Amino acid sequence: MNDIDEYADIPGMPSDSDIRAELVRTSGPAFWRPTGSPDGTATDFTGELGQKVLAARHALGPGPNGTDVQYAVWEHEQAKEALDAEARRIMSALTEVRSYDPVTGEAISMASPTKVKALVDRLAVVQEDKARLEGEPGRLALEKKVDEAVRNTKALFRNQYIADQAKRLAAKIAMDEEIARQAAAYGKSRPKP
């Protein structure tokens, strides 16, 4: 069953583009609430305290009320940071100097030529991984998460609509039964002509 058929009869169902826009708008750290309920307002990260809050949110992530899109963005950022940290570690190992050649004054690396080649090769792989993450493959992976979140949001909206309708119907049935019971009692107590 496609989305159009499944959700066509549900009044007030937001469009895919409206859901997508809201999910993307609230995907960044300004809307993450690691220790509380999301309220839909952005946090102001200006000033020193704001930067500390931003750093904490990057460390903690969206929190228990985070959306799938917020978690996807956080994981994406965490993966980029891990690659950056590995690149820094490799560059540090490549630039570590054991001593200097007394004749030429050139730096002598701590790493052997074999180790230098391995580090350079690993650095190339890390840079390729980061380029992929920041490029089209990374964008497509995030888009896929947004598409999935749109479907999930619509399903949640549908389920809430069904639950609301079921409660209304149950209340109507209970009221109809009470009316029928009172009508029967009224019919029995009414004098017969």
Return d(Cα 124, Cα 129) in angstroms, integer. Answer: 9
Q: Which residues of 42-61 are buried (b: 16+ CB within 10 A; e: fewer)?
A: eeeeeeeeeeebbeebeeeb
Determine the 3-state secondary structure of 97 from DSSP.
strand
Decide if 66 contacts 88 (C-beta within 8 A). Answer: no
* Distance of alpha carbon 86 from the chain centroid: 24
For residue 1, the model assigns a pLDDT of 45
Which of 18-32, 57-71, 96-110, 155-169 shows the highest mean pLDDT? Answer: 155-169
Instruction: Describe the crossing of helices 68-95 and 47-60 by its angle, rounded to 10 degrees.
Output: 100
45: CB partners within 8 A, 6+ apart? 29, 30, 51, 53, 54
Instruction: State the amino acid at position 103 in one-letter form.
Output: V
Using alpha carbons, select from 85, 90, 93, 83 the residue that is nearest to residue 129: 83
Q: Which residue has the higher pLDDT, 90 or 189?
A: 90
- Mind listing the pLDDT tens digit for each residue in 39-69? 777 888 888 888 888 888 888 888 888 888 9
Residue 3 has pLDDT above 60, yes or no: no
Residue 70 has pLDDT above 60, yes or no: yes
Return d(Cα 188, Cα 182) in angstroms, integer. Answer: 10
Beta partners for residue 135, in sequence order: none
For residue 46, the model assigns a pLDDT of 84
Residue 109 has pLDDT above 50, yes or no: yes
